Amino acid sequence: MLEQLLAGSLEDAAERRELMPYARLEAEALSRPAALDALAALAPADHMKVIAEVKRASPSRGDLADIPEPQALAAQYEAGGASAVSVLTEQRRFKGSLADLEAVRKAVSIPVLRKDFIGDEYQVLEARAAGADLVLLIVAALPQPRLERLHTMIRELGMTPLVEAHTADEVARAVDLGAQLIGVNARDLRTFELDRELFGRVADQIPAGVVRVAESAVLDVADVQRYREAGADAVLVGEALVTNDPIATLSAYLSV
Ligand SMILES: O=C(O)c1ccccc1NCC(=O)[C@H](O)[C@H](O)COP(=O)(O)O
């Protein structure tokens, strides 16, 4: 599944490249106002921080919510106290788009994450041109030299890479990169199985000073509390926010 998702996202990007050549996209990306400081926004605090996701559908859960106006949902997230907004831009299984990201960028003043299956430089430029401040890199999807190259490029463009791991070995690879923002995804992207205890097992591998994000499988306050006790600085939440009142849900999570 992960390989299919990555191949699909790369294919879609290659089609867009037919219309917008690399050099033109690069010029557009470089002309954007500077990216927001996501590390400062997500820095450890005396409460859990939340990266709130715009998520219409997913391979594991099917359709979740219509979200005709992602910018309106993102504005609610910001009003509710989210520290950043994650926008799924993958089209085929998550029903997202770069247009969603651009609309969200215009509506909020907190950092915005491009959440997609990123495998090449063109996709990184697309993220910056659409106004992203953060870009997801999935360790399991990329050989280390490619991961290093894309990590460097994201930073050179002034954005922050969120480096996502799902095993102890992948966390070690993220740490080797010098990642400043590491996400541990409870969801195995190959099987969709959820492991809420994984974060607690690997959190100690993440050095002090690196921001630790627990991703996926937050369905209630007890899940947020468990991640907090295990050392998470932030949680990345999709389904629970798009299927419940976002403001009330955020308020409960931010009290942890
Ligand atoms: O959500 C999925 O089914 C999924 C399947 C395959 C690859 C990625 C997938 N999701 C991306 C994410 O990591 C989540 O959207 C994100 O962490 C929020 O998760 P949740 O709060 O459980 O919706």
Tokens of 58: 């997913």
The catalytic residue among 9, 83, 97, 185 is 185
- DSSP E strands in 140-232: the ranges are 160-165, 181-185, 211-215
Q: What is the best residue among 87, 114, 216, 219 to mutate for testing ligand 1's pocket, by most ligand atoms within 8 Å of CB?
A: 216
Tokens of 18: 């037919």
- Under-50 pLDDT residues of the chain: none
Give the DSSP letter string of 31-64. Answer: HSPPPP-HHHHTS--SS-EEEEEE-SEETTTEE-
Distance CA 113, CA 74 (A): 12
Task: Give the domain range for residue 66.
Answer: 2-32+41-254
Q: What does the pLDDT read at residue 190?
A: 84
3-state secondary structure of 235: strand
Q: What does the pLDDT read at residue 214?
A: 98
- DSSP E strands in 15-148: the ranges are 49-54, 57-58, 62-63, 84-88, 112-115, 134-138
Q: What does the pLDDT read at residue 145?
A: 98
Sign (positive/negative) of CA torsion 151, 121, 237, 251?
Answer: positive
Nearest to 157 by CA among 119, 130, 117: 130
pTM higher than the cut 0.95: yes
Q: Is 216 a catalytic residue?
A: yes
Distance CA 75, CA 62 (A): 25
Pocket of ligand 1 (CB under 6 A): 5, 53, 55, 58-61, 185, 187, 189, 192, 215-218, 236-240
Enclosing H/E stretch for 173: helix 168-177
Write the CATH number for 67.
3.20.20.70
Q: Identify whether the C-beta of residue 110 lies closer than 8 Å to the C-beta of residue 85.
A: yes
Q: What is the best residue among 53, 92, 137, 187 to mutate for testing ligand 1's pocket, by most ligand atoms within 8 Å of CB?
A: 187
Q: Identify whether the C-beta of residue 111 lies closer than 8 Å to the C-beta of residue 41.
A: yes
Give the number of domains in the chain: 1
